[in-house]
Amino acid sequence: MKNINYQDIKCLDVTTLPKRHSGIFFKILSSLNPCSRLNEEGHITVSGLVIRNGRALLIFHPYIKEWMQPGGHIDPGEAPIDAATREVYEETGVICNPIKRCLDPIDIDLHEIPANPKKGEAAHVHIDLLFLFEAAEEGESPEEIQKAWLPFEEISNARLRRAIKKLQNEA
């Protein structure tokens, strides 16, 4: 799998970001390790949109309390797409494969993460790279997180609706 060229991310149109985020965006990307959780302002994360028969695999996030795609942090030395594959499995028990025509992220989103006192984390931002996958095998999740296959038309998450619409327009 290929590594993400963080220079490509820096070239994104940041005019759509809230003004308070544009400085954080560049600060994160200019850091020595933009994926490190040690970056107090935020870091790059990954997630996976796993699709099957007009449905998407979602989890009910145990802290944020919303249905969303599985995802998480990139381990040191790990390629982003491999991190997304690992996170999907850890959170859902689904073994997935990247869709060959989509080895690059299909969407990049900057969003705020609320403070989590249980983890000792202050509020920060995630620059999340969303990868597209197909399910290869489904098992039980090593983590106890609720999962569901939702029909595309029942998904209310704005980011996922944007990504699915983009995919449908490309088909």
- Answer yes or no: is 110 within a domain: yes
* pLDDT tens, residue by residue, 110-146: 888 888 898 888 999 999 999 999 999 998 888 889 9
Q: What is the CATH number of the domain that holds 84?
A: 3.90.79.10
Q: Look at residue 1 in the predicted model and tell me its pLDDT.
A: 35
* pLDDT tens, residue by residue, 13-27: 555 566 666 678 888
Say if residue 77's pLDDT is above 90.
Answer: no
SS (H, E, C) 82-150: HHHHHHHHHHHCEEEEECCCCCCCCEEEEEEECCECCCCECCEEEEEEEEEEEEEEECCCCCCCCEEEE
- Answer yes or no: is 44 within a domain: yes
Supply the pTM of this predicted model. 0.87
- Answer yes or no: is 1 within a domain: no
* pLDDT tens, residue by residue, 85-97: 999 999 999 999 9
159 is in which domain, residue-wise?
A: 6-170
